[in-house]
Structure 1
Amino acid sequence: MSEAALRVMVVDDHPMWRDGVARDLADEGFEVVATADGVGSAGRRAGAVTPDVVLMDMQLPDGTGAEATAAVLAVSPASRVLVLSASEERDDVLEAVKAGASGYLVKSSSRTELVDAVRATADGQAVFTPGLAGLILGEYRRMSQEPTTDPAMPRLTDRETEVLRYVAKGLSAKQIARKLSLSHRTVENHVQATLRKLQLGNRVELTRYAIEHGLDEPPA
């Protein structure tokens, strides 16, 4: 997706912050098609303008960012939501992902990190602030170690799980290949095999998979 065609909506209830982010993105060549200050307005405006990427705050006056994410995706399912929040709380991160967010960035991130994250989100990558990526990977680790009583749930090999963890960090196949001393094709084969096993369509859905199987509950 070219930057010239990339359409962004910013959802935040603080006008100075919201307008500042919108200005920064416009300066980088993105088209800011709408802004919103709550759950209700986010849903209405997303339905009207169908943005490519929605930057979403977690604390809104009429609800949570997770609720706003669900509202946006209900009316504009092709949009991708990137949370941009001051909160680094585990529950906020997992609720956002469960609601359909593609990634989670903290507001202390630099302008460059934000711009890169918007681009990556538009390209279908799962983008997380490094410390929060570790939280999501912890859910994957628990998924791979805990026994399942569901015979229909597929089991991944150790190598597939290893590759999947790097995918969740947002690494490309070439970067994963270098880290694991594998060929690019071998990594791609593992990714495709994992997607087939889990019956998922893309890398963003891989991140959601861990949450949707009850892994937001603490281990017994």
Structure 2
Amino acid sequence: MAEDAALTVMVVDDHPIWRDAVARDLAEDGFDVVATAEGAAAARRRAAVVKPDVVLMDMQLSDGDGVQATTEVLTVSPSSRVLVLSASDERDDVLEAVKAGATGYLVKSASKSELCQAVRATAAGRAVFTPNLAGLVLGEYRRIATSTNSGPAPPSLTERETEVLRYVAKGLSAKQIAAKLSLSHRTVENHVQATFRKLHVANRVELTRYAIEHGLDD
């Protein structure tokens, strides 16, 4: 990933004053706001052209909702990551957004500092949630895991890979994990990549979901 100043962001919200204010805050903090959109159709069209690193997505849009828009944006720009920024903290909105592919979910009461940190974390592939929503998402994945425990046995991970996976599930970066385990940054990345291959997941978000589902996030 490029330096923070080069991170590209698209802001999708049907309220122009709020949309412009968020875009301005991000630009002031060094992000490159490459597009804005008021609805799902516009978001899809613009994402297909600009391929933003991060899409800030509202749940209520002029021509649909954030769940639909998230799905459509990730269809035309699969390398983008979606961070929902919504006034709603309803359980169904949060879970539907995550199921549609959103990496994280913040409520609009988040401060400018919290928002900018969340955008950077999202760009780095870390799952970010407003604190009271994180427990909700973890609980849902545990429920799903409990109901599907009769499935095939998970692939075998080494003790070290499991240890690294636990820290990934807690949102730590490779550098932070390396410091905790007294390993090199490269060694940690090698363990993460090996785990990707064994579990057939594509990124850290999917890896975190796997860890949650198998109780490795405690």
How much has 1:105 moved relative to structure 2? 1.0
Indicate the SS of the match to 1:43: helix
- Name the residue aligned to 1:50: 51
**TM-score computed with the length of structure 1 as normaliser:** 0.79
How far off its partner does 1:167 sit?
A: 2.8
TM superposition shift of 1:30: 0.9
* Cα deviation 1:110-161 (Å, max 9, x = unaligned): 1001001111111121111111111222234335555523226558899988
Looking at structure 2, the residues matched to 193 and 142 of structure 1 have their Cα atoms a distance apart, in angstroms, of 27
Out of 197-206 and 51-60, give the one that drifted further.
Answer: 197-206
Structure 2 counterpart of 1:218: none
1:195 partnered with 2:190: no
C-alpha contact 2:83 2:105 (8 A) present in aligned 1: yes
The answer to which of 85-94 and 106-115 deviates more is 85-94
RMSD over aligned Cα atoms = 3.1
Matched with 1:109 is: 110
C-alpha deviation, 1:33, in angstroms: 0.9
Distance in 1 (alpha carbons) for counterparts of 2:121 and 2:80: 13
Calculate the TM-score normalised by the size of structure 2. 0.80
Q: In structure 2, the residue corresponding to 1:22 is in which secondary structure?
A: helix
Give aligned pairs, total: 210
Match of 2:125 in 1: 124
The change in CA–CA distance for 1:159 and 1:105 in structure 2 (over 3 A counts) is: farther
Q: Distance in 2 between matches of 1:160 and 1:133?
A: 24
Aligned to 1:68: 69
Tell me which residue corresponds to 1:134: 135
Alignment correspondent of 1:33: 34
1-structure distance, mates of 2:52, 2:9: 5
State the shift of 1:99 in Å: 1.1
Unmatched segments (≥5 aa) in structure 2: 214-218
Task: Determine helix, strand or coil for the equivalent of 1:21.
Answer: helix
Whether the 8 Å CA contact 1:139–1:210 is kept in 2: the answer is no
Residues 101 and 207 of structure 1, relative CA distance in 2, 3 Å threshold: farther
Whether the 8 Å CA contact 2:165–2:211 is kept in 1: the answer is no
SS of 1:124's equivalent in the other structure is: coil
Inter-CA distance 131–192: structure 2 relative to 1 (3 Å threshold): farther
8 Å contact kept, 2:105–2:130: yes
Q: Using the alignment, how far apart are the partners of 1:114 and 1:174 within structure 2? A: 22
Structure 1: 5+ residue stretches without partners: 214-220
Deviations 1:72-111 (A, max 9, x none): 1111111111111111112111111111111111111110
Instruction: Indicate yes or no: 2:86 matched with 1:85.
Output: yes
Determine the structure 1 residue equivalent to 2:216.
Answer: none
Between stretches 139-148 and 111-120, larger displacement belongs to: 139-148
Distance in 2 between residues matched to 1:38 and 1:100, nearest whole Å: 18
Matched AA of 2:56: L
1:6-57 deviation line (CA, Å, top 9, x unaligned) = 1111000011110000000111111111100011111011112111111000
